[in-house]
Amino acid sequence: MKKPFMVTLLGAIFVVLSAPVFAQSYPNKPVKVIIPFPPGGATDIVGRAMAERLQNALGQTFIVENKPGASGNIGIGEATRAAPDGYTLVVGSPQTLTINHQIIKSTPFNPQRDLAPIVVIASVPNVLVVNNKLPVKNAQELIAYAKANPGKLSGGSSSIGGSPHLALELMKATYGLDIVHVPYKGSAPALQDLVGGQISLMFDNLPAALQLINGGQIKALGVTTLKRTASAPEIPTLDESGMKGFDSQGWFALLAPAGTPTPILEKINAEANKIIKTPEFRERMTKVGADTVGGSIDEFKARIKSETERWGKVIEAADIKAE
């Protein structure tokens, strides 16, 4: 009876003592980085930029694999099923980490339970944009116009349940606005209909809308961060435009399967933060319309928890479902 106990005890001691040693030698083979969206989008751009630099910093190949589908759930789901050894990472976003499992009831995993946060790489503001023919010049005028014309304005979004859609629902709930939601399959068709006047307004990730804004084809009323963004400092925040405290942004972060040894998570976090602080990486993010973030694992965990609760209230109030 004593021998199995001793074997188990020695095994446990070996795992505890070997974890830091294992982390010191990590990585000693290629690391897979799953991007749960197609190539060319903001998640892909930010994720690839970080993977390339981690490869240089850690001296091993970081292989990026795009696994799109089901609003990001296919790629996230694959990551949750991978071995928790640090050799599979995934790039997550608010939609995949705090929203999807609340609106897609068939989601077979829970990101807070099944993934281990590492670091938030960068954030991307959403921007409130309107058709040029809409007779408003700022956010306050839009709110007043919408209240005076209930049900007559239409608000587009790139998808059901994405951060731009929830930003629209948050604005509607906060100010008691009757605006018809029109979901699209992606930003491009929604923005084209906004330019053409088929819809009145929309929230969208700033990088997707910036070219049309700069070209004068649509009007930007404000970004959804509490501070102006370095990629478009001329656009005011909605907070300073009278929508006090309005904060809704996309962000992109690195995670691993739950159970990945803490020393490995901490090592990746430390290297990623060094990269994030470099002027070269900050400039790269600014060019694509993103702002660098960084921070600790605990700060990332707190963000996931708070945003899950926040968006859960919006989802419930607006009765948003996507099956």
- The dihedral built from the CA positions of residue 236, 237, 243 and 244, taken in this order, carries a sign that is negative
Per-residue pLDDT at 100 exceeds 60 = yes
Q: How wide is the angle at C-alpha 24 spanned by C-alphas 21 and 26, nearest 5°?
A: 110
Domains (range + CATH), the chain: 29-124+249-318 (3.40.190.150), 125-223 (3.40.190.10)
Task: Dump pLDDT digits (tens) for 163-216.
Answer: 889 999 999 999 999 999 998 877 889 999 999 999 999 999 888 888 899 999
289 pLDDT band, cuts 50/70/90, is confident
Tokens standing for 71? 């609003």
3-state secondary structure of 134: coil
Output the pTM of the full model.
0.81
Task: Dump pLDDT digits (tens) for 142-155.
Answer: 999 999 999 999 99
Average pLDDT, the chain: 90
Cβ atoms 72, 249 nearer than 8 A: no
Task: Dump pLDDT digits (tens) for 31-83.
Answer: 999 999 888 778 888 999 999 999 999 999 999 999 988 888 999 999 999 99
